[in-house]
């Protein structure tokens, strides 16, 4: 199982890396696709994309588990003695007890630079979207090699309702989710909430029961502390950071695609996708009618086509103003 040690505190973090078979008549794509999962899932939420992307479309794929989720630990523990880049971690380095965005971006940057994956595109969902933005802003390596962004149901820039954005979720929503997922009936709570994530109540979003159970297991695999702590990290609005990102990428018109469900109640379109389009006018916003926060699963075929389209786009290439469809 491939793992690496966080430069922050030596925490063991898991990732998956896939590459297409060598074939002289069918060249490999020049970009690696870096998939960042949402809360409270793991990289396995993307499983259904990997075979077509690697085998049929011949992309390299990197999919890490964020600390505390999937097969990644939450922290290193009090007796950790690990190696990072060939050097022992200083035992005086404090263990991570208050994970922040900086912790997460340091973890991700360490993986990307250690693997030296070269040119790549971020494909991110939910809290993975701001994670991609903040990693881009904090890392020279990422800025030099990132070629495109795909944001699916992005948890940004407004995550809490305010005068600036009355369409954003109430703070109590995050309290409710954190409490339910850390309580004694977390499994039943997860199963109940997943139906809202995927909006299975709406036409076109039907999922088999066994598929829902698979995603329920992903949620229940998460560290209980991570389940509660992560919403505390992504509650704050990211308007200032997205403004910096716009200034950093605007001159090159970095290809950016925003895929948002028109029926997303977890992160409403008016608090996210439409605001991003205003801040990044060249971004390609595509609204999936009737889709919820989990459109990466309910509308997987269309999402796959959109990913392939945007990563083939060159900086500065024009796109439609907004696409809406089923």
Measured torsion, CA atoms of residues 202, 208, 209, 214, in degrees rounded to the nearest 10? -110
| Stretch 83-91: mean pLDDT | 44
Q: How far is the C-alpha of 53 from the C-alpha of 63, rounded, in Å?
A: 13
Determine how β-strand 3-5 pairs with β-strand 12-18: antiparallel
Q: Could you report the per-residue pLDDT of 121-160, keeping only the tens digit for each?
A: 999 999 999 999 999 999 999 999 999 999 999 999 998 8
- Tokens representing 40? 């409270």
pTM (2 decimals)? 0.91
Residue whose entry in the numeric block shows the structure tokens 């695999």 = 221
Q: How much is the pLDDT for 318?
A: 58
The model's confidence at residue 70, banded by pLDDT at 50, 70 and 90, is very high
Three-class DSSP category at 123: strand
Q: Closest by alpha carbon to 208, among 299, 290, 298?
A: 298
Write the pLDDT tens digit of every residue in 97-119. 689 999 999 999 999 999 999 99
pLDDT of the residue at 78: 67
The DSSP result for 18-64, as a single string, is E-PPP-TTSPPPS-EEEEEPPTT--GGGGHHHHHIIIIIS--EEEEE
Whether the Cβ atoms of residue 106 and residue 73 lie closer than 8 Å to each other: no
Write out pLDDT tens, residues 227-242.
888 888 888 889 999 9
> What residues are paired with 40 via a beta bridge?
none
For a pLDDT cut of 90, what percent of the chain falls above it? 66
Higher-pLDDT residue of 80, 323: 323
Rounded-to-integer distance, Cα 180 and Cα 196, Å: 14
Average pLDDT of the segment spanning 283-309:
97
DSSP single-letter state for residue 144? H
- Give the DSSP per-residue string, 79-144: T---EETTEEPPTTSPP-SS--HHHHHHHHHHHHHHHT--SEEEEEETTHHHHHHHHHHH-HHHHH
- Across the strands, what pairs with 64? 15
Residue 111: Cβ-neighbour burial (10 angstroms; 0-12, 13-18, 19+): buried
| Domains in the chain: ranges and CATH | 3-325 (3.40.50.1820)
């Amino acid at each position: 199982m491939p793992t690496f040690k966080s430069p922050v505190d030596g925490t063991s973090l898991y990732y998956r890396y896939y590459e297409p078979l060598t074939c002289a008549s069918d060249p490999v794509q020049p970009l690696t696709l870096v998939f960042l999962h949402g809360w409270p899932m793991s990289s396995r939420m993307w499983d259904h994309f990997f075979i077509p992307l690697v085998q049929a479309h011949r992309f390299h794929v990197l999919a890490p588990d964020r600390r505390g989720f999937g097969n990644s630990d939450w922290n290193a523990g009090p007796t950790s003695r690990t190696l990072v880049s060939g050097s022992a971690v200083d035992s005086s380095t404090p263990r991570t007890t208050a994970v922040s965005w900086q912790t997460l971006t340091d973890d991700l940057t360490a993986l990307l630079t250690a693997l030296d994956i070269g040119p790549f595109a971020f494909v991110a969902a939910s809290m993975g979207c701001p994670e991609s933005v903040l990693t881009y802003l904090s890392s020279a390596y990422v800025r030099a090699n990132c070629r495109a962004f795909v944001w699916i149901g992005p948890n940004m820039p407004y995550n809490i309702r305010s005068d600036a954005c009355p369409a954003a979720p109430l703070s109590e929503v995050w309290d409710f989710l954190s409490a339910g997922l850390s309580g004694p009936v977390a499994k039943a709570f997860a199963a109940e909430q997943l139906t809202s994530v995927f909006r299975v109540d709406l036409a076109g979003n039907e999922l088999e029961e066994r598929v829902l159970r698979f995603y329920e297991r992903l949620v229940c695999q998460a560290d209980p502390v991570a389940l509660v702590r992560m919403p505390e990290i992504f509650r704050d609005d990211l308007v200032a950071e997205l403004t910096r990102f716009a200034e950093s990428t605007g001159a090159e018109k970095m290809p950016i695609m925003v895929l948002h469900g028109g029926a997303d109640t977890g992160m409403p379109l008016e608090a996210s996708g439409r605001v991003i389009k205003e801040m990044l006018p060249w971004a390609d916003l595509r609204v999936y009618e009737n889709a919820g926060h989990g459109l990466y699963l309910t509308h997987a075929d269309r999402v796959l086509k959109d990913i392939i389209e945007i990563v083939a786009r060159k900086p500065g290439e024009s796109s439609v103003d907004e696409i809406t469809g089923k």
